[in-house]
Amino acid sequence: MVKRTLHFSNPAHLSFQNAQLLIELKDELRTCKTIPIEDIGVVILEHPQITLSMKVLDALIKANVAIVSCDDHYMPSGIFLPLEGHHTQTERIRNQLNASEPLKKQLWQQTIKIKIANQAKVLDKIGLNGARLMEHSQKVKSGDSGNLEAQAAAFYWNQLYGSDFFRSRNRSSPNAQLNYGYSILRSLVARALSASGMYPSVGIHHRNKYNAFCLADDMMEPYRPFVDWMVLNLNYPEEEAGLTKDQKMELLTIPQMDVQITDLKRPLFHAVSLTTASLYKCFAGEIRKVSFPNFE
8 A C-beta contact, residue 27 and residue 14? no
Q: Is the pLDDT of residue 273 over 90?
A: yes
The number of angstroms, rounded, from the C-alpha of 148 to the middle of its chain's C-alpha atoms is 22
Chain-centroid distance, C-alpha 249: 16
**Which pLDDT score is estimated for 145?**
96
Confidence of residue 80 (pLDDT cuts 50, 70, 90): confident
Residues 245-259: tens digit of each pLDDT: 999 999 999 999 999
Q: Residue 134 class from Cβ within 10 Å (0-12 exposed, 13-18 middle, 19+ buried)?
A: middle
- pTM to 2 decimal places: 0.90
How many degrees, rounded to 5, is the angle at CA 235 between CA 45 and CA 232? 90
Cβ neighbors of 216 (< 8 A, separation 6 or more) are 186, 189, 190, 193, 200
Q: How far apart are CA 215 and CA 223, in angstroms?
A: 14
* pLDDT tens-place string over residues 102-143: 999 999 999 999 999 999 999 999 999 999 999 999 999 999
Mean pLDDT score across all residues of the chain: 93
Q: Give the pLDDT of residue 31.
A: 86
Q: What are residue 146's phi and psi, to 5 degrees?
A: -90, 0
Counting residues of the chain whose pLDDT is more than 70, the rounded percentage is 99
> Do residues 8 and 50 touch, judged by C-beta distance below 8 A?
yes
